[in-house]
C-alpha cells in the first residue's frame, strides 16, 4: 500500500514538473522578448518606414508585407485545402489511391521549409514567371500550410457524426446538399481553428519567402502582387545576424520580434474565439 502511494507521488511529481518546464520556457521567451523589445515599441515604430540604414524609424513595410503575404496564402490554401479535405473525407472511396494521397500529405507536412522555398523558386518565380514577388511568396507559404489545413480539416469533418449525413440523405438530400448544410457548418469551427493556426505558423516562416520575394529593403509598400516586399521574420533575421551594426539595432530586432509574436498570438486567439463562438452556436 505504502509503496503504491509513494510511486503515485513520484509519478505525479515528474509529470507536473514536465508541464511546469514547458510553461517556464514559454514564459521566459515571452518575458525576454517583452523586456528587451518594449523599449523599441512606439507609435512611430509600427507606423513609419525604416530610416538611416534600418537603425532608426519603424517597421511598417515589414508588418504590411507579412499581412499581404498571409492574405495571399489564405486565399490560396484555404479554398484548395478545405476542398481537398472534403473530397478525401466525403467523396473519395477508401483504397490504394486515398492511402497514397494521405501518406503524401503527411510527408509534405514534414518537408523542411527551406525545401518549399526552393520549390517555390522553381515553380512560381521561374516556372510560372511570377518573379520574386508577394504572389510567389504567398503561394509558396500556401503550399507549406496546405498539408496542415487538409489534415486538420479532414479531422474536423470526421468529427461530425455520421448520423447527420445519413439523416440528411434519408430525407432525399443530395450528397452535396448534405455536406453543405449538414456537415460543413459543424466542421467549420475545427476547420477555421486549424487553418488559422496553420496560417499563423506560415506568417512566421522565413525560409520559404527567402528566395521567393522578400527583400531586405524596398522603399514604399508593394503596389501589386508582383512586387517584392519586406516581412517581419526576414527583417528580424537580418537585424540580428546580417546588419552592419548588430548591437545598435538589437532593440529594434526585439521590437520586431514582439510585434511578430503579438500578431501571431492575435491570430491564435482569434482561432480560439471563433471555435468557442461557433461551438456555442451549434451546441456541439
Partner 1 sequence: MNNIIIKDLSLAYGEKQVLKRINQEIEEKKITAIIGPSGCGKSSLLRCINRMNELIPDAKIMGQIIFDKIDIYDSNTDVTEVRQKIGMVFQRPNPFPKSIYENVAYGLRINGLKDKNKISETVERSLDDCGLLKEVKDRLHTSATELSGGQQQRLCIARALAIEPKVILMDEPCSALDPASTFKIEELMVKLKTRYTVIIVTHNMQQAARVSDTTGFLYLGELIEFGNTKKLFTKPKEKLTEDYISGNFG
SS3 194: helix
What x/- string results for residues 265 through 284 when contact with partner 1 is judged by CB under 8 A? -----------------xxx
Stretch that binds partner 1, among 20-28, 38-46, 105-113, 170-178 (CB under 8 A): 170-178
> Applying CB under 8 A, does 163 fall inside the site for partner 1?
yes
| List of residues 6+ apart from 67 with CB closer than 8 A | none
Determine which residue in the list 7, 8, 44, 166 makes contact with partner 1, applying CB under 8 A. 166
Q: Are 209 and 117 in contact (CB under 8 A)?
A: yes
Minimal distance, residue 98 CB to partner 1, in Å: 11
Rounded to whole angstroms, how far apart are CA atoms 185 and 176?
Answer: 13
Report CA-CA distances (Å) from 243 to 52, 159, 230, 237, 276. 12, 49, 15, 9, 43
d(CA 213, CA 260): 19
Binding mask 221-240 for partner 1 (x = CB under 8 A): --------------------
Which helix or strand (DSSP H or E) is residue 51 part of? strand 50-51
Of 29 and 170, the one with the shorter C-beta distance to partner 1 is 170
Name which position in 161, 242, 245, 273 contacts partner 1 (CB under 8 A): 161
Closest CA to 250 of 29, 49, 55, 30: 55
With beta carbons less than 8 A apart as the criterion, state whether 106 and 167 touch.
Answer: no
Q: In angstroms, what is the minimal distance from the CB of 180 to partner 1? A: 10
CB of 43 to partner 1, least distance (A): 46
Count of residues touching partner 1 (by CB under 8 A): 22
- Residue 89 binds to partner 1 (criterion: CB under 8 A): no
- In this structure, are strands 56-57 and 50-51 parallel, antiparallel, or unpaired? antiparallel
Which lies closer to partner 1 via its Cβ, residue 45 or residue 186?
Answer: 186
Of 93-122, which residues contact partner 1 (CB under 8 A)?
93-94
CB under 8 A: which stretch of 73-81, 162-170, 213-221, 240-248 binds partner 1? Answer: 162-170
**261 is a site residue for partner 1 (CB under 8 A):** no
Stretch that binds partner 1, among 29-37, 44-52, 166-174, 269-277 (CB under 8 A): 166-174
Nearer to partner 1, 112 or 167 (CB): 167
Tell me which stretch binds partner 1 (CB under 8 A): 68-76, 77-85, 157-165, 263-271. Answer: 157-165
Closest CA to 236 of 40, 20, 4: 40
* Whether 92 contacts 103, CB under 8 Å: no
Query: Any residues with CB less than 8 A from the CB of 88 and at least 6 apart, and which?
Result: 98, 101, 102, 150, 154
Q: What does the block give as the cell for 185?
A: 457548418
Binding mask 171-190 for partner 1 (x = CB under 8 A): xxxx--x---xx---x----
Binding site for partner 1 (CB under 8 A): 93-94, 161, 163-174, 177, 181-182, 186, 282-284
Amino acid at each position: 500500500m505504502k509503496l503504491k502511494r509513494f510511486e503515485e507521488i513520484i509519478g505525479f511529481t515528474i509529470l507536473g514538473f514536465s508541464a511546469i518546464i514547458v510553461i517556464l520556457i514559454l514564459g521566459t521567451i515571452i518575458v525576454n522578448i517583452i523586456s528587451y523589445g518594449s523599449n523599441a515599441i512606439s507609435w512611430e515604430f509600427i507606423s513609419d518606414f525604416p530610416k538611416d540604414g534600418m537603425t532608426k524609424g519603424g517597421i511598417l513595410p515589414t508588418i504590411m508585407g507579412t499581412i499581404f503575404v498571409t492574405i495571399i496564402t489564405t486565399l490560396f490554401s484555404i479554398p484548395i485545402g478545405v476542398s481537398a479535405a472534403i473530397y478525401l473525407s466525403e467523396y473519395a472511396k477508401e483504397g490504394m489511391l486515398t492511402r497514397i494521397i494521405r501518406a503524401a500529405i503527411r510527408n509534405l507536412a514534414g518537408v523542411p521549409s527551406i525545401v518549399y522555398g526552393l520549390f517555390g523558386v522553381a515553380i512560381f518565380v521561374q516556372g510560372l514567371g511570377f518573379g520574386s514577388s508577394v504572389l510567389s511568396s504567398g503561394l509558396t507559404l500556401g503550399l507549406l500550410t496546405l498539408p496542415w489545413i487538409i489534415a486538420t480539416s479532414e479531422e474536423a469533418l470526421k468529427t461530425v457524426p455520421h448520423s447527420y449525413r445519413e439523416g440528411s440523405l434519408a430525407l432525399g438530400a443530395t450528397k452535396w446538399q448534405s455536406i453543405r448544410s449538414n456537415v460543413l457548418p459543424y466542421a467549420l469551427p475545427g476547420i477555421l481553428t486549424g487553418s488559422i493556426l496553420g496560417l499563423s505558423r506560415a506568417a512566421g516562416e522565413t525560409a520559404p519567402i527567402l528566395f521567393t520575394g522578400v527583400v531586405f529593403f524596398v522603399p514604399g509598400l508593394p503596389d501589386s502582387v508582383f512586387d517584392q516586399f519586406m516581412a517581419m521574420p526576414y527583417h528580424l533575421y537580418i537585424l540580428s545576424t546580417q546588419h552592419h551594426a548588430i548591437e545598435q539595432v538589437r532593440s529594434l530586432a526585439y521590437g520586431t520580434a514582439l510585434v511578430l509574436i503579438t500578431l501571431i498570438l492575435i491570430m491564435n486567439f482569434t482561432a480560439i474565439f471563433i471555435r468557442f463562438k461557433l461551438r456555442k452556436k451549434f451546441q456541439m
